[in-house]
Structure 1
């Protein structure tokens, strides 16, 4: 069992609920829970139980961009990209599992009965209600309407166990109430791997923005109070920005600051609001992010040309304004990377790249490891597979972007908010020209991405900044869903441009010396001055193998994205067991 825990704990107890290994706590099966109220009548007992909730955060959440328009790769999970769906069948599969929520509700009931003083009790109730809100939000994102449970059910509670789904409106109002309780009673401490008042505010900023914009940009679902949730996000963001202890991490060096933010063993406390922390001496206990983006067998993930186009020029102007479509179409990889936003070189292998923690040497990207030529290097460190660096789940920059987006959605964006949010992010990135509200003009690339708001240049540019700043942090998939821009899942995503065909040496970094040769299979007699890059069989060139062109991962017929695909299906065995459950529309037609 992989042990990623948050926070790192050093207390061990010989209780059935936990086992102790190498001075770190690992949660045992959920059926082994303390029944005696005595356990919960001390702060130690409350902490011991509630620390188990932190395992509900997943290190895999930052990989969600792999199913968005930021990334192209082979194989699963590609269902949403191809509409080639398979229904989940087994009980508790596909995300329809309630064990975690039952554990939280069980704790809440025991905590309420605890004899500890009210201040301590409310602190742990606040923590539990934060996790209940967090878990329910994940359910609502997936399924829409879900059954709301505020108490831990027993096996004989048939009426509740087999009830119909409650409305999304009821559930999200309850989530909001849980978050507000957590914000009120959690301590105003600055942690980076434990839930506090500030963490709850940050997640309220995220959750309420998601829900408000979902309701606004999915009118067919006829959900009320979109503006209420956007306002709640605005309020939470504003409070954290005005009163919170956070700021953007910077040493004044934009070339390295953004890159290093994700490479420190311990995430910078000034910007990191929540991270997963790993025990440094635990064999097999770290994350596998290096492996995810650097191993041949792991899907060949590569960034898309669509994302690369979104990185600004170093002066803050749009790449798509600087260069016409025709100029971009045959632009060499080296020219494409010149004078760009430093966040690009921190996220994608560019000419001159040296992998962090290594002795150096040129690296052109490995086409066995990615399908587009734009090889992802954000967060990639020196270890071959497992590493123990903090994984940032929530950082201050996201709150700034939430604040700006909510303000514009409400018609409240002004110079003060813009300077506190987008312009602070751009300053850290090294741009000398801030955005001026009256002069913001978007480009046709943004209008094509965000079809529902294509006439709102300001909102397009806020989304533009968000995509760049948060690339490969796991939020892009949710952004596409909540904005109702599902067409982006179905685009054919291109890679880099190569001005020669297979078996022809090329000057990839434009230094006047041929350095790379693209091949289908390496020749027996290798030229020692060349790096041979094998093109996967699923890849090809837009002009054919003999002439080169843009790398095309695949060329499938475009399948329109439909409204029903924004929600996921309930497992079929759950529908058989509970006749009061109804499948989400259209999924019953999937065979």
Structure 2
């Protein structure tokens, strides 16, 4: 038992080596000297370490959703083939961040501070504790709640069972409310404010409210309580008039430009993570051939509206016409966010002057992503730019969705939220009542309300490739979409020259995996071999199928992750999530 406690003590007291505050060396170990807690500069340095917990890689969340397809073997949730974690602290079951946050909260009382200053420090720590637990609950479901630092003498707490999700999320909501109350109402880019807390509250409460609503198998109470909290948080931020969407009045460039500058636009961006000292590059996510060659899916492209506000399916009622539509035609007269997110006919990459087409060495569907992609000089890394973590457009859509789920979304609500998002790109505003859309209705199994589905469409179009889609599908209980047949562009046939941008010159020639290109190759043509798991939907022609193998049905237990086996050995009270046994 002593050996086990020693292992756990190390796990709970380890402090991540990338925290800025580790550069300080007071008289004894950090935080152990009384003088440390009387120095406000020390407190500031300690709490600044929490900002290292803002994970830039959150923006890659769409890579495991129906917005993207991967070359070769797709992610685990796509195939249903998992490598189960075994080691302590693996698979996301790590509590170091929480230990540091609680250590700070427990010791801040020693500081000689005015109440307002102390509350602001505690509010910052509770903001990060709420975010930490939101991440843990969205990954594992029930988790143990700890509001104090554990020692080796706290055997009962160390070996306790997981606390119910409802209990943990009530505590998360309390932390968020404290943060909203005591953080400063100041507009920052890289720091946490009252406005950041409201934005995060709208995100977390929307997630929890919809998760409870759609996962009826869990019998979780008070879904409407969290949806109401999400709507109220969004309403408060909207009413403050602190933020607005970035726009210069150019609907075909503003959305793209939002993601381009080194120093992001704080009119819209509520929280960004700057990359001056740590490596994180937007561009290679989509241009490097070693990152998975992610391409957008036909499902995503089909969900974008036409410029006049009609659905793609209304503009082209024939299923046969849509199934065989050329890459060129699919981009015509569409929502301007489509051409600002994907390589389109006539595309000119930022930092260049010549037209180019979808590069099949860099994507696997033909729908090549260029949202947030910079100039060619960034392809191998470089070009540090702010990574956008929270922006105002998300809050507007969180507000609209929460109200729609509650059944209280009015035209006035739509006009100050969803239609503001549409207005930036010149899309016709949404007006009540909303007609049913068979495409959206067929996509989602657990929701049929036309208005709610229209809000979901807007969310998907506006936030594509920003990391939201995987968690959206999980909270809506739409796991079947992880196993859908993901399609790419239409190929008129193998061994045929295809003019993607219809400029009179061929761009693409598709072969089977074991075939060689023709002897007389044409300059400028990509000779693309389908890999061993790819195919075309009609055999010798049809939609590109980057992964053409059978997939198992999605199981409800896959919505949460497994606990590492060594954690279960040490603490039998934890119990594995159902299904992972």
The TM-score normalised by the length of structure 1 is: 0.91
Alpha-carbon deviations, 1:382-434, whole Å to 9, x = none?
11132311111110000000111111112221111100011111110111x21
The number of residue pairs the alignment matches comes to 559
**1:108-187 paired onto structure 2 within 5 Å:** 108-187=105-184
Q: Which residue of 2 aligns with 1:461?
A: 454
Does residue 542 of structure 2 align to residue 542 of structure 1?
Answer: no
CA–CA distance in 2 between the matches of 1:26 and 1:116? 20
Aligned counterpart for 2:332 among listed residues 317, 331, 338? 338
Q: Which residue of 2 aligns with 1:516?
A: 508
Give the direction of change, closer, same or farther, for the CA distance of 1:168–1:238 in structure 2 (3 Å limit): same
Q: Is the 8 A contact 2:20 2:45 kept in 1?
A: no
What are structure 1's unaligned runs of at least 5 residues?
Answer: 1-16
Aligned counterpart for 1:63 among listed residues 60, 63, 81? 60
Q: Is the 8 A contact 1:278 1:388 kept in 2?
A: yes
Does residue 386 of structure 2 align to residue 394 of structure 1?
Answer: no
Alpha-carbon deviations, 1:519-558, whole Å to 9, x = none?
45455643235344444443322233xx432111122224
Alpha-carbon deviations, 1:418-477, whole Å to 9, x = none?
00011111110111x211112x123222111221112x0000000011000000000000
Does residue 524 of structure 2 align to residue 551 of structure 1?
Answer: no
Q: Is the 8 A contact 1:217 1:482 kept in 2?
A: yes
CA–CA distance in 2 between the matches of 1:28 and 1:84? 42
CA–CA distance in 2 between the matches of 1:218 and 1:29? 47
SS at match of 1:451: coil
Per the TM alignment, residue 178 of structure 1 is displaced from its structure 2 partner at its CA by 0.4
Q: Which residue of 1 aligns with 2:478?
A: 485
Per the TM alignment, residue 337 of structure 1 is displaced from its structure 2 partner at its CA by 0.9
CA–CA distance in 2 between the matches of 1:28 and 1:140? 32
Aligned counterpart for 2:346 among listed residues 334, 340, 352? 352
Give the direction of change, closer, same or farther, for the CA distance of 1:18–1:215 in structure 2 (3 Å limit): closer
SS at match of 1:236: helix
Q: Is the 8 A contact 2:248 2:254 kept in 1?
A: yes
Does residue 311 of structure 2 align to residue 318 of structure 1?
Answer: yes
Give the direction of change, closer, same or farther, for the CA distance of 1:530–1:466 in structure 2 (3 Å limit): same
CA–CA distance in 2 between the matches of 1:583 and 1:29? 40
Give the direction of change, closer, same or farther, for the CA distance of 1:48–1:207 in structure 2 (3 Å limit): same
CA–CA distance in 1 between the matches of 2:519 and 2:24? 54
Q: Is the 8 A contact 2:342 2:367 kept in 1?
A: yes
Q: Which residue of 1 aligns with 2:570?
A: 577
CA–CA distance in 1 between the matches of 2:338 and 2:508? 22
Give the direction of change, closer, same or farther, for the CA distance of 1:107–1:25 in structure 2 (3 Å limit): closer
Alpha-carbon deviations, 1:264-289, whole Å to 9, x = none?
1111111001111121xx5xx33133
Per the TM alignment, residue 165 of structure 1 is displaced from its structure 2 partner at its CA by 0.7
Q: Is the 8 A contact 2:72 2:531 kept in 1?
A: no
Aligned counterpart for 1:96 among listed residues 89, 93, 98? 93
SS at match of 2:119: helix
Q: Is the 8 A contact 1:193 1:275 kept in 2?
A: yes
Does residue 227 of structure 2 align to residue 234 of structure 1?
Answer: no
Q: Which residue of 1 aligns with 2:491?
A: 498
Q: Which residue of 1 aligns with 2:285?
A: 292
Per the TM alignment, residue 113 of structure 1 is displaced from its structure 2 partner at its CA by 2.2
Per the TM alignment, residue 511 of structure 1 is displaced from its structure 2 partner at its CA by 3.0
Give the direction of change, closer, same or farther, for the CA distance of 1:152–1:75 in structure 2 (3 Å limit): farther
Give the direction of change, closer, same or farther, for the CA distance of 1:352–1:237 in structure 2 (3 Å limit): same
SS at match of 2:510: strand
CA–CA distance in 2 between the matches of 1:121 and 1:128? 11
Aligned counterpart for 1:215 among listed residues 212, 215, 227? 212
Q: Which residue of 2 aligns with 1:530?
A: 525
CA–CA distance in 1 between the matches of 2:93 and 2:74? 18
Does residue 423 of structure 2 align to residue 427 of structure 1?
Answer: yes
Alpha-carbon deviations, 1:129-155, whole Å to 9, x = none?
000000011111111111110001123
Q: Is the 8 A contact 1:371 1:536 kept in 2?
A: no
Alpha-carbon deviations, 1:248-301, whole Å to 9, x = none?
11100000000000111111111001111121xx5xx33133212111122111
CA–CA distance in 2 between the matches of 1:481 and 1:518? 35
Q: Is the 8 A contact 2:517 2:527 kept in 1?
A: yes
Per the TM alignment, residue 35 of structure 1 is displaced from its structure 2 partner at its CA by 1.2
Alpha-carbon deviations, 1:89-123, whole Å to 9, x = none?
00001111111100000000111221122111111
Q: Is the 8 A contact 1:418 1:437 kept in 2?
A: no
CA–CA distance in 2 between the matches of 1:345 and 1:167? 45
Q: Is the 8 A contact 2:281 2:384 kept in 1?
A: no
CA–CA distance in 2 between the matches of 1:238 and 1:577? 46
SS at match of 2:283: helix
RMSD: 2.1
Q: Compare 561-570 and 456-465 and name the one that shifted more.
A: 561-570
The TM-score normalised by the length of structure 2 is: 0.92
